[in-house]
Structure 1
Amino acid sequence: MALHRVRVKTDPLDDVFSMPLSERVLPKRRIPDEESDPRAVYEAIRDELLLDGNSSQNLATFCTTWNGDEARKLMDQCLDKNMIDKDEYPQTADIESRCVQILADLWNCASDDTVGCSTTGSSEAAMLGGLALKRRWRRRREAEGKPADRPNLVCGPVQVCWEKFARYFDVELRQIPLERGATGLRPHQLADHVDENTIGVVAILGVTYTCDYEPVAELAAELDRIQAATGLDVPIHVDAASGGFVAPFLHPNLVWDFRVNRVASINASGHKYGLAPLGCGWIVWASADLLPEELVFRVDYLGGDMPTFALNFSRPGGEIIVQYHQLVRLGREGYRKIHQACSDTARYLAGRISAMGPFDLLYDGEGALPAVCYTLKDDTPFTLYDLTEQLRTRGWQVPSYPLPADRQNVTVQRVLVRHGIGEDEISLLADDIERALQRLRASGGTGAPRQPSFHH
């Protein structure tokens, strides 16, 4: 039986909204039988996307929401490059290697045999770091003739990727409760949670909940004390998803990176304060021996013998290229100026928030990420969830959520200031917060509990 191709005849001068596709609802459960004019399909999908929020008003996300023309051009030119195929795209592979070496230097790695790779983001990078910790611990336990079936990982309030790592790879996650008045893990809390089955401690440089840095050097000093008392030698992995591209430029004297001997590996999100597009993460190990060889796979079916140790395989190379573009274009001074401007804007907002009356600042944007985090005073007749809903009517996405254990009774609100968000835009947000407060006071507020809004 002969098959006949059915083509939709359209005049190139036809208006897209008079084409057949515009006269019906777009398919949602079944691929259509016929072709459609690409102009009409583009316009229809573009119009649907207008229902999404304005990314520049999304103050919940750490991720890059502003990209320059050069970044867009490079992304377009790399759309067809599979970065895993290093034999076919050797220059992309070389640029990835350059980025790893630049980051190792940025994070003060003294070793000349450091290793690392790009990832789709910090979640994948964190899992690679955790897997290396687990494998090294297991290898050591087996060499000592001891059981290696009950690994645990010690941390404070961490992003959900660490909960995923623990569940996916059979590791007990020992999340230390948040103390009253603290914004993250504190050194004195370690001794009650570290034991011979601890594969490592995760220190967060930019806590998701509060935006503050955990004291890496002090955590390492406490582990030194624990080793002296018990013989336990516990490494640190620094989850610098956000702070890894902020601290080197705004807080160069803060010792948190490979200058701390216990720091075995560091991950960061290039697509956060690294200013790369979405889908770019990095992990670096202090030296090659810290990445167990059994985690490295070698493939030869793409044209050459290539080692790979990422969880993902095929993905585009554009994010890596743009990351390199940003590192070269901006340099240390450019990153410093951008993040300093963001930090200044965050402190401006903190001043406005503090002056409004009903808020208590938990983090004022000084000394860590360009952000503000605050709570409501106890006698306020409405909730932060009410305020979040009020701000959403103006397009602002400002998350409200409870703190982690043992501070779940405290609800906080957080505003992240990123590249592309200037003081004028933040002043408009502050004006809208003041107007929202007036409406909530006039109505008496609902005071009703709400589900936490999304925060990344």
Structure 2
Amino acid sequence: MALHQVSNGAGQTYDDVYSTPISARNLAAHRVPEHSSDPRAVAAMVKDELALDGNSSQNLATFCTTWAEPEVHHLMDVCMDKNMVDKDEYPQTAEIESRCVHMLADLWNSPEGGTTMGCSTTGSSEAGMLGGLALKWRWREARRAAGKPADRPNLVCGPVQVCWEKFARYFDVELRQVPLEPGATGLRPHQLREYVDENTIGVIAILGVTFTCDYEPVAEIAAELDAIQADTGLDVPIHVDAASGGFVAPFLQPDLVWDFRVDRVVSINSSGHKYGMAPLGVGWIVWRTADHLPEDLVFRVDYLGGDMPTFALNFSRPGGEIVAQYYTLLRLGHEGYRKVYEACAASARALADEVEAMGPFTLLYDGRGALPAVSWTLADGGSAGFTLYDLTEQLRTRGWQVPAYPLPPKRQETVVQRVLVRHGIGYDKIMLLAKDLRAAVDRLAGGSTGAPETPGFHH
């Protein structure tokens, strides 16, 4: 666009967006501006700043959706005015939420999929906290009914995402985090006896461990709790944090028993905006049966026009993500989800083979049997001549975001890297990553930490 006034053909002229007053100064950072500005110019300036963010399609650290079909963008626009909490004003959006809950209950083999309780949330963290609150309330009711003290609840888990640490701190629950054993990628059933007691409100089993991408063995954990109950009388329920795996396992590993087919599993949370392929931010919580959600946790609101039950931690929130989730479930179906994640898993396995062939790495998870992802560590950090943190910085020069971080206790000395293969990240892109990874390793092993060389242009 030319840097002068242009006419719209109706006698009016408009300044080029880069010659308007707002483009001639820094954008406001601490005070609301006194005067209005041209909307085109404001949008252009903000968009220019956003261009400084990383390329989300190269962000292989995040589990979250970074690509969506045009139809999803359109539905999100249509739903900008829909407040999910106002079910009286937006009854069809509320109906769509209910359909999603029952679809997921069926997907996760709920014995009462058509009548059980569940809801959407802003993400799997909120959903997990609701599951934790239900565990605490039911434990407390049982303790009080038995005439026992109910002031020292604890929650047992392996390496978990920070939302469970938040839950424990915010809601006054002791978090008994079982340390990783050598060679393990998550909680192992035989570790439970040392941590479970009469004050345990539940055990968290992770379907897609954040640190390694592997699944914890839910059925085996349940079997160990069965044995503990037989020996001690302690009846400890399981909540499955399927933030990532809840939308993967039913399609990639349909025979894996991890969900409500396990009698001890009372609730499951998952993230629609991760492998559910919905936009940020939507999560889901489903209880095995309606009675596993204590009535004390349900509030009834009548000041929006109608008597509406609500049991999410948030109040007002957008309905677009829920509608987009429903669209994705309808659009893909079992067949589509399976095809997408078979392709993602094939790309992950190919990357794992490339990483293993490079020499200095040991795979922790090779993309087989759990999430479409890969995690690895240095085989011998002392002789490699570089750290995984160095490798992370080298990959950033090509735009890749591949995190390096220590494992949880007692394996904190082990630093790992992780790549998540999501919808919208194709095989070709993963192979380009493998090429850049190999080049970065060669530079670091050779003692160079400079930017990668690019071929010159010659006539």
Q: 1:188 is matched with which residue? A: 190
Report the CA distance shift for 1:272/1:12 in structure 2 as closer, same or farther (over 3 A).
farther
Match of 2:296 among 291, 294, 297: 294
Determine if contact 1:212/1:369 at 8 Å carries over to the other structure.
yes
Q: Deviations over 1:387-419 (max 9, x none)?
A: 000001111000000000000000000000000
Determine if contact 2:364/2:376 at 8 Å carries over to the other structure.
yes
Distance of 1:12 and 1:362 partners within structure 2: 62
Match of 2:427 among 423, 428, 431: 423
Matched residue of 2:14: which SS?
Answer: coil
Q: 1:121 is matched with which residue? A: 123
Q: 1:454 is matched with which residue? A: none
Q: Deviations over 1:284-318 (max 9, x none)?
A: 00111000000000000001000000000101100
Distance of 1:442 and 1:261 partners within structure 2: 55
Distance of 2:110 and 2:200 partners within structure 1: 25
Q: 2:15 is matched with which residue? A: 14
Structure 1 residue ranges, 4+ long, deviating more than 6 angstroms after superposition: none
Q: 2:148 is matched with which residue? A: 146
Q: 2:7 is matched with which residue? A: none
Matched residue of 2:384: which SS?
Answer: coil
Q: 2:348 is matched with which residue? A: 346
Q: Is 1:235 equivalent to 2:269 in the alignment?
A: no
Report the CA distance shift for 1:444/1:27 in structure 2 as closer, same or farther (over 3 A).
closer
Determine if contact 1:236/1:264 at 8 Å carries over to the other structure.
yes
Match of 1:388 among 392, 398, 405: 392
Determine if contact 1:129/1:283 at 8 Å carries over to the other structure.
yes
Q: 2:136 is matched with which residue? A: 134
Determine if contact 1:381/1:444 at 8 Å carries over to the other structure.
no
Distance of 2:391 and 2:12 partners within structure 1: 51
| CA drift at 1:113 | 2.8
Distance of 1:328 and 1:130 partners within structure 2: 30
Q: How does 1:340-379 map to 2 (within 5 A)?
A: 340-378=342-380, 379=383
Distance of 1:11 and 1:299 partners within structure 2: 51
Distance of 1:113 and 1:324 partners within structure 2: 18
Counterpart amino acid of residue 97 in structure 1: S
Determine if contact 1:156/1:175 at 8 Å carries over to the other structure.
yes
| CA drift at 1:13 | 2.8
Q: How does 1:142-181 map to 2 (within 5 A)?
A: 142-181=144-183
TM-score scaled by length of structure 2: 0.94
| CA drift at 1:182 | 0.5
Distance of 1:307 and 1:60 partners within structure 2: 37
Distance of 2:129 and 2:315 partners within structure 1: 15
Matched residue of 2:342: which SS?
Answer: helix
Matched residue of 1:367: which SS?
Answer: coil
Q: Deviations over 1:330-349 (max 9, x none)?
A: 00000000011000000000
Determine if contact 2:111/2:289 at 8 Å carries over to the other structure.
no
| CA drift at 1:11 | 6.0
| CA drift at 1:377 | 1.6
Distance of 1:304 and 1:292 partners within structure 2: 22
Distance of 1:138 and 1:12 partners within structure 2: 70
**Range with greater deviation from structure 2 (168-177 or 436-445):** 436-445
Determine if contact 1:216/1:256 at 8 Å carries over to the other structure.
yes
Match of 2:324 among 322, 325, 329: 322
Report the CA distance shift for 1:14/1:348 in structure 2 as closer, same or farther (over 3 A).
same
Report the CA distance shift for 1:18/1:412 in structure 2 as closer, same or farther (over 3 A).
same
Determine if contact 1:400/1:412 at 8 Å carries over to the other structure.
yes
- What number of residue pairs does the alignment pair up? 437
Determine if contact 2:394/2:449 at 8 Å carries over to the other structure.
no
Q: Is 1:221 equivalent to 2:223 in the alignment?
A: yes
Distance of 1:116 and 1:281 partners within structure 2: 11
Q: 1:27 is matched with which residue? A: 28
**Range with greater deviation from structure 2 (61-70 or 10-19):** 10-19
Determine if contact 2:155/2:203 at 8 Å carries over to the other structure.
yes
Matched residue of 2:341: which SS?
Answer: helix
Determine if contact 1:354/1:361 at 8 Å carries over to the other structure.
yes
Counterpart amino acid of residue 383 in structure 1: T
| CA drift at 1:53 | 0.2
Q: How does 1:74-113 map to 2 (within 5 A)?
A: 74-111=75-112, 112-113=114-115
| CA drift at 1:14 | 1.6
Q: 1:310 is matched with which residue? A: 312
Q: 1:6 is matched with which residue? A: none
Report the CA distance shift for 1:25/1:185 in structure 2 as closer, same or farther (over 3 A).
same
Counterpart amino acid of residue 151 in structure 1: P
Counterpart amino acid of residue 59 in structure 2: N
Q: 1:265 is matched with which residue? A: 267
Counterpart amino acid of residue 224 in structure 1: D
Gaps of 5+ in 2: 1-10, 451-459
Report the CA distance shift for 1:374/1:11 in structure 2 as closer, same or farther (over 3 A).
farther
Q: Is 1:411 equivalent to 2:412 in the alignment?
A: no
Distance of 1:12 and 1:191 partners within structure 2: 77
Determine if contact 1:217/1:260 at 8 Å carries over to the other structure.
yes
TM-score scaled by length of structure 1: 0.95
Distance of 1:421 and 1:299 partners within structure 2: 43
Matched residue of 1:443: which SS?
Answer: coil
Distance of 1:24 and 1:188 partners within structure 2: 63
Q: 2:439 is matched with which residue? A: 435
Counterpart amino acid of residue 27 in structure 1: A
Counterpart amino acid of residue 97 in structure 2: E
Match of 1:211 among 201, 213, 223: 213
Q: Is 1:39 equivalent to 2:43 in the alignment?
A: no
Q: 2:457 is matched with which residue? A: none
Counterpart amino acid of residue 41 in structure 1: V
Matched residue of 2:110: which SS?
Answer: coil
Gaps of 5+ in 1: 1-9, 447-456
Matched residue of 2:399: which SS?
Answer: coil
Report the CA distance shift for 1:12/1:163 in structure 2 as closer, same or farther (over 3 A).
farther
| CA drift at 1:438 | 1.3
| CA drift at 1:12 | 4.4
CA RMSD in angstroms comes to 1.1
Q: Deviations over 1:66-116 (max 9, x none)?
A: 011000000000001101100000000000000000000000111243110
Distance of 2:309 and 2:129 partners within structure 1: 18
Determine if contact 1:381/1:445 at 8 Å carries over to the other structure.
no
Counterpart amino acid of residue 375 in structure 2: C
Matched residue of 2:417: which SS?
Answer: strand
Determine if contact 2:375/2:418 at 8 Å carries over to the other structure.
yes
Matched residue of 2:362: which SS?
Answer: strand
Report the CA distance shift for 1:12/1:43 in structure 2 as closer, same or farther (over 3 A).
farther
Q: 1:450 is matched with which residue? A: none
